[in-house]
Amino acid sequence: MKLLRYGPVGREKPGLLDHDGRIRDISGYAADIAGDVLLPENLSQLAALDVSSLPLVEGNPRIGPCVGRVGKFICIGLNYADHAAETGAEIPKEPVVFNKWTSAICGPNDDVEIPRGSVKTDWEVELGIVIGKGGRYIEEADALSHVAGYCVVNDVSEREWQIERGGTWDKGKGCDTFGPIGPWLVTPDEVPDVGNLKMWLEVDGHRYQNGSTATMIFGVAHIISYLTRFLSLQPGDVISSGTPPGVGLGQIPPVFLKGGETIRLGIEGLGEQTQKVIKT
């Protein structure tokens, strides 16, 4: 099942993508793709709907973030062995954890804004993990049962602010529009092997990232279990799980966004995003 949110910013409605790629309105059955709607029993009810009887959404509406009212937007850094190598970083012994502010979240095809004073805005295609059933101290063996679904994330990053300005990574990660998520929230039954998904990213038609979740250092179940040693997870929390090689920082010489570019990215089975980069 592919769930989505469509409509103007702040007024998105819940939808479902049918087998023909058309949007069906499910607002009669769910107030939003958010919170308790993502619990396993409620997702099962949505999956049991007769899709052909649901209202068709006409036209070509804006696609919003695939999850609403996100409580936490947690990220894992340096989680691909080949990406760690391109940045000259050591392979982490434990997951590197940082945050993106929820105000960074935007739709998958919304504009990405280069913030004022930025000189090193970069891109990162990432697998997003959306929590369904929350909890603390989740065992790794049970962790995947807590997943509502998966999505594409572009972990847009300002490298100077992240690395060169002191403090934590967070200041270079959470700017407005630095967190496009979606287009779809794809339930786990449609993702048979989350540890072997092709992922890619292009800027103005040039493919910079061409990787796979197979090179993740810490897998999805480990990440969820690890995080819940330190915090509780709630339905609708989003975890962005790291990026393969090919980021702008890793190019020789480095390449950063200046404004005017078009970014396209996607993950096998999870859909694609397209963003225009604009300078604020």
Within this chain, do residues 125 and 88 fall inside the same structural domain, yes or no? Answer: yes
Assigned domain for 62 exists: no
pLDDT score for 246: 95
Per-residue pLDDT of the chain (280 residues; tens, 9 = 90+): 999 999 999 999 999 999 999 999 999 999 999 999 999 999 999 999 999 999 999 999 999 999 999 999 999 998 998 777 777 778 899 999 999 999 999 999 999 999 999 999 999 999 999 999 999 999 999 999 999 999 999 999 999 999 989 888 899 999 999 999 999 999 999 999 999 999 999 999 999 999 999 999 999 999 999 999 999 999 999 999 999 999 999 999 999 999 999 999 999 999 999 999 999 8
**What is the C-alpha to C-alpha distance for residues 8 and 185, in angstroms, rounded to an integer?**
18
Within this chain, do residues 33 and 136 fall inside the same structural domain, yes or no? Answer: no
pLDDT score for 53: 96
Cis ω before 253 (30° cut-off from 0):
yes
**Dihedral sign (CA 18, 201, 86, 96):** negative
CATH number at residue 122: 3.90.850.10
Quote the domain boundaries for residue 124.
73-279
**What is the C-alpha to C-alpha distance for residues 124 and 265, in angstroms, rounded to an integer?**
9
pLDDT score for 154: 98
Residues 129 and 148 sit within 8 Å (Cβ to Cβ): no
Assigned domain for 59 exists: no
**How many independent structural domains does the chain possess?**
2
Residues 267 and 191 sit within 8 Å (Cβ to Cβ): no
Within this chain, do residues 17 and 90 fall inside the same structural domain, yes or no? Answer: no
pLDDT score for 88: 73
Within this chain, do residues 243 and 194 fall inside the same structural domain, yes or no? Answer: yes
Within this chain, do residues 102 and 28 fall inside the same structural domain, yes or no? Answer: no
Assigned domain for 210 exists: yes
Cis ω before 183 (30° cut-off from 0):
yes
pLDDT score for 86: 75
pLDDT score for 89: 73
Within this chain, do residues 191 and 264 fall inside the same structural domain, yes or no? Answer: yes
Query: What order do you get walking across the sheet with 147-154 strand by strand?
Result: 23-25, 13-17, 2-6, 185-186, 147-154, 125-131, 238-240, 73-77, 96-99
Within this chain, do residues 153 and 123 fall inside the same structural domain, yes or no? Answer: yes
pLDDT score for 85: 74
Within this chain, do residues 107 and 207 fall inside the same structural domain, yes or no? Answer: yes
Within this chain, do residues 46 and 110 fall inside the same structural domain, yes or no? Answer: no
Residues 234 and 71 sit within 8 Å (Cβ to Cβ): yes
Within this chain, do residues 228 and 181 fall inside the same structural domain, yes or no? Answer: yes
Name the β-bridge partners of 132. Answer: none
Within this chain, do residues 98 and 237 fall inside the same structural domain, yes or no? Answer: yes
